[in-house]
Amino acid sequence: MARRPSARIRRPAAALCGVLLAGAGLSACDSGSAGAGVAGGSGGLTFATDTEPSCIDPAVSPLDVTALIDRNIFDSLVNASPDGKIHPWLAKSWSVSKDGRTYTFKLREGVKFHDGTPLDAAAVKASLDHVVDPKTKSSYAAGLLSAYDEARAENASTLRVALKRPDATLLQSLSTAYLGIQSPKALKDTATLCRNPVGTGPFTFAGWKQKQSIQLKNNDAYRWGPPTAAHTGPAKLPGLTIRFIQENAVRVGALNSGEVDVIGGLPAPNVRTLKRSPRLQVLSSQAPGGTYSVHLNPARGPLKDKRVRTAFLRSIDLDQLVKSVSFGQYDRAWSQLGPRTLGYDKRIEGSWAYDTELAGKLLDEAGWSKRDGEGYRVKDGKRLTVHWPFVPQLLREQRDILGQGIQAQAKKAGIQVRRDAKDTGTYSKQIFAGDADLWDSSNVRADPDVLRTLYASDQTLAKGGMNVFKVSDPKIDAWLRHGAATADRTARAKDYVKVQRRLRDEALVLPVYVPTYLVGAAKDVKGLSFEAASYPLFYDVSLGDS
Amino acid sequence: MTGSARSVLRWLIRRIALSALVLLGSATTAFLALRLTPGDPVRVILGGSSATPEVLAQVRHELGTDRPLSEQYVLFLGKLLRGDLGTSYQLRDTVSHVIGSQLRGTVELALTSFALAFVVALLLAVSTAGRWPVVRGISTQLELVLSSSPGFWVGVLLLTLFSFRWHVFPAAGGDGFSGLVLPAVTLAASMVGVFAQVMRAGVERALEEPFVLSARARGSGETAVRFRHALRHAMVPMVTLSGWVVGTLFSGAVVVETVFSRQGLGRVLATAIQGRDFPVVTGVVVVSTLVFVVVNLLVDWLYRVIDPRLREVPA
């Protein structure tokens, strides 16, 4: 490929080599000239992303990027299409018992792991047991299997999974890469599991240069792609290199200069320039699950008063704010659920519009009618202040600017939003203690059950959930419980619509924007699609000129 | 044994004993600092999973973070003495392996950029010291700009020009030499300025000395006077800078490694601190202290080589 700079690099570098290294007494020169495109030689595709997982055992790491990488290495029992429907994959069929507590899977035959081990019911059982084993120290996957009791191999191709309670989200959970099926042989070597993923997927793991890149090779024995894919048989790419380039400017530059073929985490401000380039394209996918939202603490301070919470929500002009900060790339959110999620309430849109007059009236009613010298509202000599701690290093997607925007708009309504920069340790300690008025998060998941993690009263941080402000609302609890235990999609959707409206009416959350995965790619990259959780899939991808 | 050999030996033993104390001190400080800062590593490890209190307790027990601090400290020291740095919480790999796999990148970068900075500064300083007021002025200004430019900015600037525009060097994560050039130049840039200023002052001071006059009287040319006679005197303050240099190389490496997506200890340390990965943090602290101690030993020995007067006086 002409656009790879590798050929041109070699000569000047070699000439400089002797000069520079003479003093250092190093021998790096001889290994040096192959430096440019890591995947250049193999003709594979190079994908650059901003974060590197610390462990790529899918059962361990909670990161999106782990799922993105592992999706290429591991297949799952079932497959979910972006609309949330479940299709067969390693399981060709399944049945659910009447009480919703026993799932029986019939496995596909002839499937082999990368190490040659055949896939059978015992292997799947070993893989699921590994996820829930406390020794695995799972950060996320074990949570997906929280209802799991045990699995039993009835025979080589039949697996029975017993649950502690009915769980309507089980199949969706099983479809994620976090619950990808691992080779029982590889699972035995627990010491290297983080760096030696062995699955049945379209690519095999070939190496990891920590802090730099992960190499994957085509698995030419692959015949069991999911029905949602555009083709069957082995992946089209001979290899895949995932490079970790943390700096946004450098990642975009590397795409522009042709050093990498695809980049993830494309910063919204770069989209317009990329679209103008004749040889680049921008692809995007809205993530399902929780939107990026600011949660309000109803248990302390001025936000105890529902009128103050509502006033805060109504005083932020999100249409303008999200549009300008994301350069039009993200949609503003109306609900805690993203529009692509099952049960999304379309009618919530526009139902709590920006209304400063109403906000002012509510605050007056709540007794915050006086203003101090700086324009903030006061009551009994106390200023209307809310605290919003954050960790600067963890901010992404221009969330720092969004935060400042929210702060500025709240100020107009007379509410002081204090953004307190903390280190990760202090931050988590504070959040655990509920010592904050505002807390922001986005929880991507292709199922509305994400609402249960965020708002069910039994999902507080201490109990392993994400209900940070310990919201305890019997109505919400009942709908969420029902939604999680009901198999019928229409019935489930109704429960989640009710939850979304209740969250709005109680003003418990300020939904801000719909997380959107932005990808920049060279135009000759064909067939790139997105997984249900909206990260890019490489199985169908081909490079135009290779 | 001759008197001077005995004095060298005595000096060496004393220095090594002191170095061991320094190592112990830094390991202890790192250990305590990590335990005193808020943030439970087990909470970080188990992140967003629905870990029950029982699972949390089990993991704490496995990692030993549920034991009293004094017991943890004794265990930590015992392991350290046996050369065992422990196992990373986040990477699930032995710390020695983690450090071993990243050390090469840091050493390559540090040595290359140090050599580069040294040579460039030497040429600038010796050639412009005490003459050519205009050239000297420009050089001094340039050095000031270089030493005050943030590494992050220099790195992105170099990348924009040499990788994105002219495709001379790879942008990120390049292996071997071609991938080393821009990071080394970036890291060297901040040191060149300081080196050159210190050396120039030294050379200029030496050029005033009577021995330079006598060298000239014996017919030495200008270049020979500067390089053979004056430079040696200018080197003594340079050696004193070594502590600063080691610090700069380590801290600057974090930025350079991030911008250029290089392997290296700096980034390992930064990630470990964020993830409350205690064993990795203490491991990197111990290893970098060791480097520091060894460099200081070498430097003190270098003093004696450069300045013969020090050899006579027992240190």
Express each pLDDT in B13-54 by its tens digit.
988 899 999 999 999 999 999 888 877 788 777 765 556 777
Contacts of A542 (CB under 8 A, 6+ apart): A236, A237, A525, A526, A527
Other CB atoms within a 10 A radius of the CB of residue B93 amount to 19
**Interface mutation target, options B167, B191, B269, chain A, most CBs of A under 10 Å:** B167
Average pLDDT over every residue of B277-297:
90
Using the beta-carbon criterion (under 8 Å), do B260 and A429 form an inter-chain contact? no
Question: In chain B, whose CA is at the least distance from the CA of A49?
Answer: B261
* Option in A12, A140, A428 nearest B43 (CB): A428
One-letter amino acid for residue B143 of the chain = E
Distance, in Å, from the CA atom of B269 to the CA atom of A380, rounded to the nearest integer, reads 49
Separation CA A314–CA A154 (nearest Å): 57
Region A71-84: mean pLDDT is 93
Using CB atoms within 10 Å of the CB of residue B9, give its burial: 0 to 12 exposed, 13 to 18 middle, 19+ buried.
exposed
pLDDT bin (cut points 50, 70, 90) of residue B2 is: low
Instruction: Answer yes or no: are the C-beta atoms of A379 and A367 closer than 8 Å.
Output: yes
Q: Which residue has the tokens 């010298």?
A: A373
For residue B265, pLDDT beyond 60? yes
Predicted confidence at residue A271, as pLDDT, reads 94
All structural domains of chain B, each given as residue ranges with its CATH number in brackets, are 1-88 (no CATH), 94-310 (1.10.3720.10)
A405-418 mean pLDDT: 96
Least confident span in A268-282, A320-334, A343-357, B209-223: B209-223
- For B97, nearest residue in chain A (alpha carbons): A210
Q: What is the pLDDT of residue A13?
A: 33
Taking CB atoms and an 8 Å limit, are A250 and B156 in contact across chains? yes
Q: What is the residue whose two structure tokens read 């250029």? A: B260
Contact at 8 Å (CB) between A111 and A105?
no
Which residue is closest to A253 within chain B, CA to CA? Answer: B164
Asked if pLDDT for residue A381 goes beyond 80, the answer is yes
Q: Quick one: which H or E segment has residue A536?
A: strand A536-537
Residue B206 pLDDT: 86
Q: Which of B44, B178, B259 sits opposite A35 (nearest CB)?
A: B178
The DSSP secondary-structure symbol of A189 reads -
| pLDDT confidence bin for B173, thresholds 50/70/90 | low
Closest CB from A23, A28, A211 relative to B177: A28
Please write the tens of the pLDDT for every residue from A439-463.
998 888 888 999 998 999 988 887 7
Residues 6+ apart with CB under 8 A from A108: A88, A89, A90, A91, A92, A119, A224
Which residue of chain B comes nearest to A50, CA vs CA? B261
- In A, minimum Cα distance to B174 occurs at A35
Within 13 Å and on the Cβ side, how many CA atoms surround A333?
Answer: 29
d(CA A387, CA A302): 11
Residue type, B285: V
Burial class (CB in 10 A: 0-12, 13-18, 19+), A35: buried
DSSP-derived secondary structure for A103-136: EEEEEPSS-B-TTSPBP-HHHHHHHHHHHH-GGG
Alpha carbon distance, N-terminus to C-terminus of chain B: 18
Q: Using the beta-carbon criterion (under 8 Å), do A38 and B173 form an inter-chain contact?
A: yes
Instruction: Choose the closest CB to B261 out of A10, A244, A426.
Output: A244
Q: Record the pTM.
A: 0.86
pLDDT tier, B235 (very low <50, low <70, confident <90, very high otherwise): confident
Chain B positions touching A13 (Cβ under 8 A) are 168-169, 177-178, 181
Q: What is the mean pLDDT of chain B?
A: 85
Are A396 and A268 within 8 A, CB to CB?
Answer: no
Instruction: Say if CB A525 and CB A237 are below 8 A apart.
Output: no
Question: How high is the pLDDT of residue B174?
Answer: 61
Distance of CA A370 to the CA centre of its chain: 43
CB contact under 8 A, A428 and B37: no
Contacts of B61 in chain A (CB under 8 A): none
